[in-house]
Amino acid sequence: MTPIQAKLRLFGAWCGPAYLILIFSGWGAVAGFVPPVAPSRTAEEVAQIFQGNTNGIRIGMVLVMWSAGVFIFFAATVGQFLSKIEGGAGVLTYGAVIGGCGNMVLSFYPAIWWLVAAYRPERAAELTYVFNDMAWLQFIGGVSMFAALPVAIAIAAFIDKSPDPVFPRWAGYFNIMVVMLIMPDQLLFFFHSGPWSWNGLFGLWIPVALFGAWFLVTFYLMRAAVLRAARNPSPALENLDAIAAGR
């Protein structure tokens, strides 16, 4: 791994924590969507929230949109490490990259719907209600596309027989746990209140906690792998890099 390659991979890895900072600060601290407005609230109550914090929501959602751009480089770095494990870009690499595109969409477009609602806060309450529903249901409920990333890493962790894997076996089990505990949150489409709604324990808080933990664990493993390779260059790793680059 050349110094430039190491720096670029570190940049991509650090984009994971940067993504979390942007999306959670924009969504929670600036827009004020934590705790979320309950799906059981009336259209008039939801409209009042957008009328009372119009600029906060606008600024917060712009930050969330930027988080989607930052995430692209993190997903690309995951794909690059997976291509090394596969000996070239294969099913896991493409699956992770396409899943990353899905998560980028799930970060970007809900922010658009919230921005549309905040763009004309004086419009009919029912229209604001619809845009708010669209945003929350996509933002929290669209995890099936994101799941391609932890699934790809889990498989890679189990098939990688190298002596110093980027994703050790425990990371494979961790990624399986993330998928199994996040996917049930799609029950939020059936509930307006309770633990499975978009502001409930299983509909929001557990999935969000696991989502954040996944980014931090993946960042830690990729950063550690880059630093190890920089300290102890390995001919085997260099060959894998060459294969992954198609040389």
pLDDT digits (tens, 9 = 90+) for 62-119: 999 999 999 999 999 999 999 999 888 889 999 999 999 999 999 999 999 999 999 9
Q: What average pLDDT does this structure show over 153-159? A: 95
Read off the tokens for 207. Answer: 């999935």
Contact 62, 110 (CB under 8 A): no
* 201 pLDDT higher than 70: yes
Predicted confidence at residue 32, as pLDDT, reads 92
- What sections of the chain are H helices per DSSP? 3-24, 43-52, 54-86, 91-119, 125-141, 143-146, 148-159, 169-182, 206-231, 235-244
Predicted confidence at residue 233, as pLDDT, reads 64
Predicted confidence at residue 214, as pLDDT, reads 97
* 28 pLDDT higher than 60: yes
Predicted confidence at residue 125, as pLDDT, reads 95
Q: What average pLDDT does this structure show over 130-157? A: 94
Q: Provide the b/e sequence for 198-220 (b: ≥16 CB within 10 Å).
A: bbbebbbebbbebbeebbebbbe
More confident residue, 154 or 246: 154
For 42, list phi and psi in degrees, rounded to 5.
Answer: -80, 165
Q: Is the pTM of this model over 0.85?
A: yes
More confident residue, 245 or 209: 209
Predicted confidence at residue 164, as pLDDT, reads 87
247 pLDDT tier (thresholds 50, 70, 90):
very low
Location of structure tokens 């791994």: 1
More confident residue, 143 or 22: 22
Predicted confidence at residue 2, as pLDDT, reads 76
245 pLDDT tier (thresholds 50, 70, 90):
low
Predicted confidence at residue 39, as pLDDT, reads 95
Predicted confidence at residue 243, as pLDDT, reads 44
